[in-house]
Amino acid sequence: MNASRRQLLRWGGGGLGLVAAAGLVRAIDQGVIEFGETPGLRAWGDWSTGRHSGPLALVSAGLLAASPHNSQPWRFAIGRLGVDVFEVPDRALGPIDPFGRERLAGLGGAIHNMALASTRIGRLATVRLLPDPDNAGHVARIELDTESAGAPPPHPLLGAIGRRHTHRGAWTGAPIDGVERGALLDFPRPDDISITLFEADSQAGRRFAALTNEATVAITEDAEMMAAAHRWFRHDRGEADRRKDGLTLATAGLPSLTAAAAAMLPAQDAATEGRYWRQATAEVHLPTASLFGIIHAPDETARRQALLIGAAWQRLHLIATGLGLVAQPLNQLPEMIDREAALGQPPRFAEAARALLPAGSPRPALAFRMGHANTAAPPSLRRPVSEVVGFPARLGYEVERSAAETAVRDAQLQRRLARD
């Protein structure tokens, strides 16, 4: 990081004296100083105002889910039976996510939001994960019953969908009490998905922080990983408006005056971003958290489990939002475990993680921090419904599902006729 930028990040608002016309333009350009409407933020308003109805309302909620580096690796299709969700493998993090585990977690989060959103439109939904054995990229079909009878009432977490944002700033460190901890874990999940929480100032919490710092250093020293991360950073307003994805300075967690001052300086390269990220992890993210946590699964390279891990993270973050808490994934440790596995290197991070967890725990799949903050996190960019709806599932699958559905409906009709 060049000296002046680093000083600005440290001094906070003190750097504002440097305001110059060119810098102001760059700050506007990076979305740090708002000027005019940002097209990449409209999707948040679309959901909160209920712009989309029927199955499109599910898509409107799904695309607000968390995804790695805001890569939004999804495409949706509206069909006669409901909504299909597809993986877009090109929206990838490369060496940061060599097995596509994080990508599937993002999709799992979207599917989770969509299931909740079905209660807003009053339709009974059945989620089928990986429904088509001949198309692995068809990650879910959310079937919507044509009749509203038996549909559950609006879910209490619906309101949190549009307020959930990843918070990368400094927090207060105030404790999360036992009642809140209980509420965080109080949701149904499959037996193979488990969650461990550590108080930040406990021995396990300190070990988690040390390992996360080590993993961050390892990532920032890995030029391929940093180059991949850099590709998902949007440096100017035009790029952000056009692509509506990725990370920006506005969501980096800097106090607003600092962000404005930092945004006026020239764009960072990958190595500079790495140095800033390492500093933010060690000096802000880890020391100001109240709670750390890990979501595990026995075989987190399995596609179904990776989807469920993402759904669990989405749910945890929505519950935290509802409780007035803030949250941020800190996934450096699982990322380094995967990186070492992909390169065939000795599993240094996998072994260190084993020592951190109770004996026999499955491998960590998603690591995070939670806590309290005095400020709210801003929304991040999203492609709206119109940019993520595509073609329906493959024809062969449609034909088979239609035949199966017709058989079920015939059987229902026969039973009704026999009763009458």
User: Which positions lie near ligand FMN, rule CB under 6 A?
Assistant: 66-70, 102, 105-106, 109, 165-166, 168, 247, 310, 328-332, 366, 380
Smallest gap from residue 188 Cβ to ligand FMN (A): 20
Cα–Cα distance for residue pair 308/403, rounded to 1 Å: 29
Neighbouring CB atoms inside 10 A of 101's CB total 26
* Dihedral angle sign, alpha carbons of residues 398, 401, 403, 406: negative
Q: How far is it, in rounded angstroms, from Cα 137 to Cα 145?
A: 24
The sign of the dihedral angle between the CA atoms of 372, 376, 377, 382 is: positive
User: What is the dihedral angle through the alpha carbons of 138, 144, 150, 155, rounded to the nearest 10 degrees?
Assistant: 70
Minimum CB distance to ligand FMN smaller for 288 or for 380: 380
Q: How far is CA 37 from the centre of its chain?
A: 24
Which CB atom, from 62 or from 310, has the smaller least distance to ligand FMN? 310
Phi, psi of 274 (to 5 degrees): -60, -45
Encoded tokens for 190:
């499959």
- Tell me how far apart the terminal alpha carbons of the chain are, to the nearest angstrom: 78
Q: How is residue 343 written in tokens?
A: 């390169």
**Concatenated DSSP letters of 278-322:** HHHIIIIITTT-SEEEEEE-TTTTSHHHHHHHHHHHHHHHHHHHH
Residue closer to ligand FMN (CB basis): 237 or 382 = 382
Contacts of 411 (CB under 8 A, 6+ apart): none
| CB contact burial 104-114 (16+ within 10 A = b; e otherwise) | bbbbbbbbbbb
Which DSSP string corresponds to 196-237?
Answer: EEEETTSHHHHHHHHHHHHHHHHHHT-HHHHHHHHTTB--SH
Nearest by Cα to 372 from 135, 175, 197, 92 = 175
| Residue number closest to ligand FMN, CB atom | 66
- With vertex at residue 240, the alpha carbon angle to CA 234 and CA 243, rounded to the nearest 5 degrees, is 105
CA distance 388 to 390: 6
Alpha-carbon distance of 153 to 186, in angstroms, equals 19
Q: How far is the CB of 132 from ligand FMN (least distance, A)?
A: 24
Angle (nearest 5°) at CA 358 between 357 and 363: 50
